[in-house]
Each structure stands twice: as C-alpha cells, then as structure tokens.
Amino acid sequence: MKVDGGIGNDLRLAPGQAKDLENKGYAGAWTAETAHDPFFPLLLAAEHTERMQLGTSIAVAFARNPMILANIGWDLQAYSKGRFMLGLGSQIKPHIEKRFSMPWSSPAARMKDMILAMRSIWDCWLNGTKLEYRGEFYKHTLMTPFFAPGPDELAPYGPPKIFLAGVGELMTEVAGEVCDGFLCHGFTTEKYLREVTIPALARGRAKAGKTMEGFEIVGPSFVVTGTTEEEMRLAAAGTRQQIAFYGSTPAYRGVLDIHGWGGLQDELNTMSKAGQWVEMGNLITDEILNTFAVVGEPEQIAPELKHRYEDVISRISFYAPYKSDPERWQRVLDDLSR
C-alpha cells in the first residue's frame, strides 16, 4: 500500500506542508473541499515538490461543469508534470441545491455523464478530435483553437487520473466503469468494503470490459492511537464524534445496515436535527469504534492496517479527527513501508 497524507487549505502553509510530506516519504497528498477551494493548495504544492502525487479528495463535482473541471485538471496535470489526481464527489442534494444553487437529479447517471464529457473534452484538446459530446445531462459541441490548450502541454503525461468517491452501490459502479480509481469514504468498514464496495466496482469494470487490474482503491482509515491513557481517551472521543456525525446521514445508512446497526442511523439523525452533536458521540460503542477504526498503541497500527486492507487497498491515509503528535504518524508510515 502507498501511504498518503493531507494538505490543509491555508495557502500560506500549503508549500511547507507539501514539502514536509514529500521529505517524510509519503507517496501522495490530498486536499478536501470544505471552507476553501481544494485546487489552489495543490498548485502551490506542485511548485514546491518533485515526486509526490497530488489530488483532491474530494472536489465537489456537481458544483461545477465538465468544461471547468477539464480545464482545471488539464492545467494542474501539466504544471505538476503528470502528478495530479482529480478526485471527485457528488456531495448531497441539500448542499448542491441550497449551497451551490446547482441542479441535482439522478446523481450516479449525472456523474457518469460528467466524467465521459470531461474525457471527450480532453480527447479534443489532446488529439484534435471534434468536440461533439451529447449526453443526458451535459452537451459540449463547441471548441475553437483559441480556447483549446496546446496538446504539447500534456503530451508527455496524458490526462490526469480520475478518482470518484462513493458509498452507495450505483455511484460505486460508475467509478468502476468510467474512472481510474475509487476514493473510499472515511465512513466505511472492512466488511462493507469487501462485501459491497469491491463487488460494485467489479461490476462497473465488467461493464467497461475491464478487470480490477490497475484500478486504484484509496482508503482513509480512522485511527485511534496515543502513548498515554489520556491521549487514547481524547483520540477515541474525537473519532466517536466523527463517526456519529457521518452516521446521522441517511445516504450512509447502508454501511450501518450491513452490521445490523441501521436503527442507530435513525437515532443519530434525530439527535442531529435537535442539535445534540456532542451527545451523539455517546452512542458510538466500543464495538462500533473498533469496527470503523484501527485502535491501538502506535506500534500496533501498521500491522492491523495491513491485516485489514493490504490485499484490497492501493493507497491509504490516516483519518485522525483529533490533535496528535506528527512524529507518531511518521512511525506508522515507517512501519507500513517495511
């Protein structure tokens, strides 16, 4: 497994964070789209690194259109000299409609259409084919030389790899069919990954006449670790809180259902609507915590991550929603690299 890190959205800190990750031996670094744009930090990271791959996990696809994403992906791939990974996610209906004021319908079908449209645009720019994409949701039929990037910019590298995030089976199948990799949601378990996610990806690959060979699965894993009882308590509390937050989302119920915990989603959702965010974490039992997270002292983390995921995940990162010593993760990274 390759081990990836994360870059924050503070543009003043991004160059140093990226250089630090590369110097420590991380294979890649990802940004998230929360309160700031996810692409700007990667531009700075590309300028200050040489080897490490750089990607978004995720950029909100439906807040943009295929032409905008194709252009951003092209430029970052060229500037990073082939190191960019375009990671996309759908977000959920309320955010797309109420926060971004963009249309929402048939998300899996729309996402497939968007990605095929992007590939058509890249083919036009790279190979000079006529842009004549007509899909169910997106249509791109105009491209003049003045607006087309020069093919030489990307000729040495090709277009960026596209990764898609998903939880439900339909979106996961789309990832297998039209993408180069899949971004597992942090709210997943080994059981859900093996019994739901990977079979759905394989079905998508089969639709495209492909196997899973060369297809990358990226898996952030919750990790609860510390060197004292107090550190472990705080790490567990922060992780319980994050698991509860995700568990309150109806779209993620399937992950709980497969473990027989579907009723928990109803409770968490009700509490979230009542603003009981702190209390929600109390519903995450030790059994649930240990199912979603790798829990243990620093030297126990790498062996357990390998045991759970080494045969199915291509890249992994540490999901730790609490303050911790950066050197602790260096130890885990070194252990995973052995």
Q: What is the pLDDT of residues 7-21, one digit of tens each?
A: 999 999 999 999 999
Q: Which domains does the chain have, with CATH numbers?
A: 2-232+293-337 (3.20.20.30)
Decide if 96 contacts 64 (C-beta within 8 A): no
Contacts 24+ apart (CB under 8 A), 247-251: 247/187, 247/280, 247/284, 248/272, 248/280, 249/92, 251/92, 251/167, 251/168
Q: What angle do CA 274, 276, 281 make, to 5 degrees?
A: 140
The pLDDT tens digits along the chain (338 residues) read 999 999 999 999 999 999 999 999 999 999 999 999 999 999 999 999 999 999 999 999 999 999 999 999 999 999 999 999 999 999 999 999 999 999 999 999 999 999 999 999 999 999 999 999 999 999 999 999 999 999 999 999 999 999 999 999 999 999 999 999 999 999 999 999 999 999 999 999 999 999 999 999 999 899 999 999 999 999 999 999 999 999 999 989 999 999 999 999 999 999 999 999 999 999 999 999 999 999 999 999 999 999 999 999 999 999 999 988 888 898 899 999 87
Residue 122, SS3? helix
Decide if 39 contacts 70 (C-beta within 8 A): no
Which pLDDT tens digit goes with each residue over 107-152? 999 999 999 999 999 999 999 999 999 999 999 999 999 999 999 9
Tokens 């700031």 locate to 36
What the block records as the tokens of 63 is: 């807040």
Angle between helices 66-79 and 107-127 (to 10 degrees): 50
CA 75, CA 84: separation in Å to the nearest integer?
9
